[in-house]
């Protein structure tokens, strides 16, 4: 297993000890931090997602436009964008960046935040939906012919994408989550093991 050095690109300067000030999207800050990661040899930088924040894929696209080799880890929450569309969006950006996109799947931990975007499913249901979502995304990225999908949360007929990821077999997928009941056992690895096997 290799180790990646992953940084973080925020849309403005702030931290645990620096209160946020200025515009919510400070282009100078985004560009400076992205270039610092690029010049500093970081493998990847996370662009976070929150129900009230700027859209992560658009911030990542801008960060990619001002860097040469920095890979991105774009936080993405299933349930708000159809998986077929999300797969095309990420594949398109992966083509534009020549293979610098990674997706960090966050199922959502806080019910109140989820409801800000209209999601009233409980944690168990969100993990179940995420599993189905990733199944569809993987098929869109890898299938050479249209496919049908009839699941609990999604239904598609002749789903297909002409744009495929630059990276083969597909874009790397990272997963964050803390639902204990989703773990295969109570020891070490979270339930994401099943996602990693499939993706």
Euclidean distance between CA atoms 57 and 73, whole angstroms: 10
Return the pLDDT at 11.
Answer: 96
Q: Which tens digit of pLDDT belongs to each residue from 153-166? A: 999 999 999 999 99
C-alpha 184: how far from its chain's center? 23
Return the pLDDT at 178.
Answer: 62
Query: Which of 10-24, 114-128, 140-154, 174-188 is least confident?
Result: 174-188
- What single DSSP character describes residue 54? P
Euclidean distance between CA atoms 82 and 8, whole angstroms: 26
Q: Which tens digit of pLDDT belongs to each residue from 68-122? A: 999 999 999 998 999 999 999 999 999 999 999 999 999 887 888 889 888 899 9
- What single DSSP character describes residue 137? H
Instruction: Provide the β-strand partners of residue 71.
Output: 44
Is the N-terminal amide bond of 169 cis, ω within 30° of 0?
yes
Return the pLDDT at 109.
Answer: 73
pLDDT bracket for residue 2 (50, 70, 90): confident
- Among 19, 18, 8, 88, residue whose Cα is nearest residue 49: 8
* Phi and psi based region of residue 78 (left: phi greater than 0; alpha: psi -120 to 50; beta: remaining): beta
pTM (global) more than 0.85: yes
């Amino acid at each position: 297993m290799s180790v990646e050095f992953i940084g973080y690109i925020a849309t403005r300067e702030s931290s645990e000890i620096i209160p946020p000030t200025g515009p919510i999207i400070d282009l100078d800050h985004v560009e400076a931090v992205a270039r610092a990661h690029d010049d500093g040899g970081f493998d990847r930088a996370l662009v976070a997602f929150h129900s009230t924040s700027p859209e992560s894929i658009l911030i990542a696209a801008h960060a990619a436009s001002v860097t040469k080799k920095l890979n991105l880890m774009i936080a993405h929450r299933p349930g708000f964008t159809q998986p077929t569309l999300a797969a095309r969006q990420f594949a398109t950006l992966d083509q534009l960046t020549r293979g610098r996109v990674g997706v960090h799947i966050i199922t959502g931990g806080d019910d109140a935040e989820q409801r800000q975007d209209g999601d009233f499913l409980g944690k168990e249901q969100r993990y179940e939906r995420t599993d189905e979502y990733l199944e569809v995304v993987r098929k869109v990225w890898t299938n050479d012919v249209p496919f049908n999908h009839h699941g609990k949360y999604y239904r598609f007929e002749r789903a297909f994408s002409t744009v495929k990821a630059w990276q083969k077999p597909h874009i790397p997928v990272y997963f964050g989550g803390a639902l204990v009941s989703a773990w295969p056992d109570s020891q070490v690895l979270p339930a994401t093991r099943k996602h990693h096997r499939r993706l």
